[in-house]
Amino acid sequence: MNQNVKGFKKFILDAKMFSPLLFNLVSRDFKIKYRRSILGVLWSVLNPLLTMLVISQVFGILLKVQVEHFAAYYLVGATIWNFFSEATSMSMTSVLGGASLIKKVYLPKYIFPLEKCLFALINMAFSLIAVVAVMLIDGVTPTWAMLLAPVPIFYTFVFCVGFSLILSALTVYFRDIQHLYGVLLTVWMYLTPIIYPMSLIQSNDVLRTIVMCNPLYYFVAYFRNVMMLGNVMVEETAEQAAVYYTMPTLADNLICFGIAAVTLLLGCLIFSKAQKKFILHI
């Protein structure tokens, strides 16, 4: 218990001491991403819009996936997924990328994956502009429940930090993870109800069970519920799938909080043990 208290106090002191460095790293990544870009930050708004147009055409028309307010349905779910994908993909090599600093001065190594997650969070904030615009154009009725949007975003952020700590630590020892993770993300994306509604796989018990074991399913569902509450389709046919949005319950919050907290705790434990030998592998 005493070791845990000391570890927590050290974490707080390190966070205060190195917060300027964290800010500078985020600022550096922001400048690098939009350097020599004509549209600059506007790309963070245009990119999800253009992707939404392609997905809407392919799945909404060619593949006959009919969901009411499909453009908004897709973009709301994709916002959470893109945040997770970007945060973890960048964090994966963050410790390796910070090797020059790690070898020169002492600093908490967790600052590198944490910085990437914060940077991805900023990019997500810009993409929310596109989300709101598409929802209004698509006829989604705004409700007071949208004020709860920061809650699932926070849960997702905590989950991203925990998962990023694990991923970045393992990548220091096993570089092949950099190549395998892209494949894993592709499979993971299709096992998350972003493009399709859960009602389309209700008859497949195995696939439904796999999807419900997916942590991102709960974060995406929570975010959709608060963003699209009140826009309920009550009719279901062979060509059109019903999607129901409900106010998140206490159980929903406990599930999301539990997944995020356990992942963060596991990430901290794995990272703290692995970082002792980072210097020998970077």
Render pLDDT for 71-128 as a digit per residue (tens, 0 to 9). Answer: 888 899 999 999 999 999 999 999 998 888 888 877 888 899 999 999 999 989 988 9
Output the average pLDDT for the chain.
Answer: 83
The answer on pLDDT for 242 being more than 70 is no
Answer yes or no: is 14 within a domain: no
Distance CA 131, CA 108 (A): 36
What pLDDT score was predicted for residue 21? 79
CB 138 within 8 A of CB 248: no
Answer yes or no: is 258 within a domain: yes
State pLDDT tens for residues 133-169: 888 888 888 889 999 999 999 999 999 999 999 999 9
The arithmetic mean of pLDDT across residues 249-256, rounded, is 95
State pLDDT tens for residues 13-23: 666 777 787 88
State pLDDT tens for residues 204-213: 888 889 999 9
Answer yes or no: is 5 within a domain: no
Distance CA 43, CA 39 (A): 6
The answer on pLDDT for 238 being more than 50 is no
The pair of structure tokens assigned to 67 is 């969901």
Answer yes or no: is 200 within a domain: yes
Distance CA 230, CA 96 (A): 46
The answer on pLDDT for 239 being more than 80 is no
CB 162 within 8 A of CB 265: yes
Tally of domains within the chain = 1
Answer yes or no: is 189 within a domain: yes
What is the domain extent for residue 56? 38-280
The answer on pLDDT for 9 being more than 90 is no
- At a CB cut-off of 8 Å and minimum separation 6, what does 104 contact? none
Start-to-end Cα distance in the chain: 32
Q: How would residue 258 be classed by pLDDT, with cut points 50, 70 and 90?
A: very high
What pLDDT score was predicted for residue 234? 44
As a whole number of angstroms, the longest Cα–Cα distance in the chain is 64
Answer yes or no: is 8 within a domain: no
pTM reported for the whole predicted model:
0.87
Answer yes or no: is 206 within a domain: yes
Answer yes or no: is 13 within a domain: no
Q: How would residue 236 be classed by pLDDT, with cut points 50, 70 and 90?
A: very low
